[in-house]
Chain A
């Protein structure tokens, strides 16, 4: 069994260990003392240089492993090849489209698509790309021109650095249909009817996306602050937005008015 030095989170602290990497398992030595069989892994996620693995033997447990890209890349590849997930061999292009336009030099890669609890992984000999389920905006079974012929593909629209990107998956149609249904089911919690917001609500949501603040939205749509507050409440309740800043509007007290009056006088004298 090979060993690689990593940091692992134990009792909310990072400890340095020599992680054992076997063909079918990871062996975490003291003070953690755990073995993780790849087939018990239910979820794999990555945040910066931290690999987050959720495995279930008797109970579900989550392990956080911190290491350099090279080590994490090997671990991801091994775990994703054998973990307990929906997996299919396919050609993929990720991202294929960014901001509505084909990505320059985007190419079909041979590999696999692995769907875990919190994301969709595209794995090839050189790449492991994860699209978190929460970032999936749409899934569509569509046609794309591949080598001059219209071909069935699954198109996954997702957010990447606040920009809509699309990834394409290519495999036999029957498998694509299964993948499409599976992904639809996995991302069901994000589905909406499309009738939850009326015209003005939708305009407010679009202006928020465009980066407008409350003041600009009120001016552009010519709506009072109270109406905007009601729309914000609706959007927040639907989970379409989150509060970032609560801004205050204040007015001067008598003391404040006196101070400013005096200051103005002294400037003009």
Chain B
């Protein structure tokens, strides 16, 4: 079980992820609504894992991922992408993401990916 930082610009998606992760026994370290806040919260909270939306205002998920990896090369970041963004997934993996989940989410898939990444 891990301490997780949820990054998404929509409250609905954050609430959904929070519910799914809670049901899997994880703790929510915190939430962020954009890439800049994500980097700041990562520094402050040092979570075991980050779920990172790709399309966000101010700083997008890929830039935030790079920022977090610059702070902590061992950071575990799982990207949240929409169906059809396979090029974005490739770019994220190249930039150091450990995994990805696809919107719309299915709870078992989210928990499986989080479990795999936490075990890596």
Please give the residue numbers on chain A whose beta carbons come within 8 Å of chain B beta carbons, in ascending order. Answer: 97, 99-102, 157, 162-164, 203, 206-207, 209-212, 216, 220
A209 adjacent to B83 (CB under 8 Å): no
Minimum C-beta distance from A142 to chain B (A)? 9
Chain B interface residue bracket vs A: 20 to 34
Assess whether A164 is in contact with B83, with CB atoms less than 8 Å apart. Answer: yes
Contact of A100 among B12, B16, B81, B108 (CB under 8 A): B81
Q: Which residues of B are found within 8 Å of A97, using beta-carbon distances?
A: 86
With A and B bound together, what is the CA distance between A203 and B12 in angstroms? 8
List the A residue with the shortest CB-CB distance to B113: A99
Closest to A205 in B: B104
Check if B15 sits within 8 Å of A220, measured CB to CB.
Answer: yes
The answer on a CB contact under 8 Å between A211 and B82 is: no
Q: Are A101 and B86 in contact (CB under 8 A)?
A: yes
Residues of A within 8 A of B83 (CB): 100, 157, 164
* C-alpha spacing A162/B105, complex, angstroms: 11
Chain B's nearest CB lies how many Å from the CB of A145?
Answer: 9
- Please give, as numbers and ranges, the residues of chain A lying within 8 Å of B102 by CB-CB distance: 99-101, 164
Closest residue on chain B to residue A98 by CB atoms: B102
Q: A220-B15, A220-B16 are in contact. Are A210 and B85 (CB under 8 A)?
A: no
**Which residue from chain A places its CB closest to the CB of B101 in the assembled complex?**
A99
Q: Are B104 and A99 within 8 A (Cβ)?
A: no
A210 touching B12 in the complex, CB below 8 Å, given contacts A100-B83, A100-B84: no
Most A Cβ at <10 Å: residue of B19, B82, B100, B105: B19
Q: Are A210 and B105 in contact (CB under 8 A)?
A: yes
Query: What is the CB-to-nearest-CB distance from A143 to chain B, in angstroms, rounded to a whole number?
Result: 12
Q: List 7 A-B contacts (CB under 8 A).
A: A100-B102, A101-B86, A163-B106, A163-B109, A164-B83, A210-B20, A216-B19
A162 to B104, CA, bound (A): 11
In the complex, what distance in Å separates the CA atom of A100 from the CA atom of B83?
A: 5
Q: Does B74 contact A (CB under 8 A)?
A: no
Residue of A100, A211, A220 touching B85 (CB-CB under 8 A) = A100
Distance, CA A100 to CA B92, complexed state (A): 13
Contact B100 A209 (CB under 8 A): no
Cross-chain contact A100 with B105 (CB below 8 angstroms): no
Check B89–A101 contact: CB distance below 8 A.
yes
Contact B106 A210 (CB under 8 A): yes
Contacts of B106 in A (CB 8 A): 162-163, 209-211
Q: Nearest residue in A to B105 (C-beta to C-beta)?
A: A210
Q: Chain A residue with minimal CB distance to B16?
A: A210
